[in-house]
Amino acid sequence: MIAIDIHKILYTAHGSMLLSIQLDIEKGQLVTLYGVSGSGKTSILRMLAGLMHVDKGRISVHDKTWLNTNEKVHRSPQQRKVGYVFQDYALFPNMTVRKNLEFALEKGQDRSIIEELINIVELEMLQDRKPEMLSGGQQQRVALARALVRKPELLLLDEPLSALDVNMRSKLQDYIIKVHHQYELTTILVSHDISEIIKMSDKVYCLEGGKIVKQGDPISIFTNNQVSGKFQFTGEIITIKKEDVVYVVTILIGQNVVKVIAQESEILDLKTGDTVIVASKAFNPILLKVEG
Amino acid sequence: MNIFSGHISHIQVSGSLSLIAIAINENVTLKTIVVETPETVGYLKKGNAIRILFKETEVMIAKNEISFQTSIQNILGGTIYSIEKGIIVSKVSIETSIGAVVSVISTEALESLILKLHQKVVVMIKSNEIMIAE
């Protein structure tokens, strides 16, 4: 169990904001922090990693106290078993893939972990290359492997996949799920991508203005049975175009583009880029077998 | 989207399907079949308030003189109060005893039925086209 109870005044572009968070995360869970920019997600990760000062509160990880401001306990980032993956990879450009991983080893640590991680994230063929020779997805695999070298008790992923294209995202999601289970990690993900959150997380916490306003399993948070339609997806509006007396709304659902006829009253509060639930009844779709 | 509120007056369950009757007012009860049961959705209880939703494109219009019988379970009488004519599709709004129902039909159908403002018509919605929400 990871028990988090932290309070801090953050100074943002819109003035000061009290971040006040209480979370209990069960060991082995993958949870997501979801919310608009400036709601405090990254600050929470930084405070967990010991990279940001906490005004008041405590953090305990599997019964070990990492922070207790009352008792003046404050473990340094090095004393916390945390793996941290950022959106921008943050690899050492002058080192090969293997050297990047080795650099993360603790003194006296068994080096076999390097080989193991290279195998798990399938970097065997790339291990002697430098980061600039790798694609974004490959670099992020290296960053993920590097974050795991010290066998962290807590893995923090700060929008690790948001710079990648859809295909690459999906692969990386699979790698993350794989290592999360294999190393029995407790993982906190920051993500804006609802399909990613639904695919990956056990639980989602919705943040607004430094507070948790909603929490639960992702399916009920994001689809919450708003309607009974069983043919239900979440997607992003690409275009809204008027045709005759109706509107044709084009929506990206995962990698598929679908079109939905809508009325003016339905699109009044919708715009390109909005996330929508696309729902139809289970009676409407037809199924065609794809041959071979 | 056509949206109305009502109360559940009857539920018949078989396997994972339910036939739900929703009383919109004293005289009108609409029926829907859903792939849900009282076990899967907490609000499926007799007497509970519920909303029903159906797309304009699923609303059929017939002229009052229609006499043949259909398999359609939800039939409402009303009066056309607005027609927006497009090239391929047109939008017809009908005032009924439960409120305004909007139908999108082909302009060809609009013309062949010679639908006009203030005309009395019948609107029909198949029960499998109605969604429910809390």
All structural domains of chain B with their residue ranges: 2-53, 56-126
Q: Give residue-wise pLDDT tens across range A99-118.
A: 999 998 988 888 899 998 99
Q: Least CB-CB distance to A281: which of B1, B88, B129? A: B129
pLDDT tens series, chain B, 134 aa: 899 999 999 999 998 899 999 999 999 999 999 988 898 888 899 999 999 999 999 999 998 766 778 899 999 999 999 999 999 999 999 999 999 999 999 999 999 999 999 999 999 999 999 999 88
Fold type of domain B56-126: OB fold (Dihydrolipoamide Acetyltransferase, E2P) (2.40.50)
Judged against a pLDDT cut of 70, whether residue A224 lies above it is answered with: no
> Of A89, A185, A184, whose CA–CA distance to A142 is shortest?
A89
What is the reported pLDDT for A205?
Answer: 95
- Residues of A within 8 A of B89 (CB-CB) are 244-246
B65 vs A253 pLDDT, higher one: A253
Q: Is B104 on the interface with A (CB under 8 A)?
A: yes
List residues in chain A touching B: CB distance below 8 A.
Answer: 225-230, 243-246, 261, 263, 265-266, 279, 281-284
CATH number, span B2-53 = 2.40.50
Same fold, B2-53 and B56-126: yes
The model's confidence at residue A221, banded by pLDDT at 50, 70 and 90, is: confident
- Residues of A within 8 A of B133 (CB-CB) are 226-228
What is the reported pLDDT for A60?
Answer: 93
Mean per-residue pLDDT for A120-126? 89
ipTM here: 0.80
What is the reported pLDDT for A2?
Answer: 93
> Of B33, B13, B35, B38, whose CA–CA distance to B22 is shortest?
B33
Neighbours of A161 (CB within 10 A): 25
Mean per-residue pLDDT for A261-271? 89
What is the reported pLDDT for A37?
Answer: 83
Cβ-Cβ pairs closer than 8 A, A with B, add up to 58
Q: Is B35 on the interface with A (CB under 8 A)?
A: yes
Q: Which domains does chain A have, with CATH numbers?
A: 2-222 (3.40.50.300), 231-280 (2.40.50)
* Interface contact flag, B57 A265, Cβ < 8 Å: no
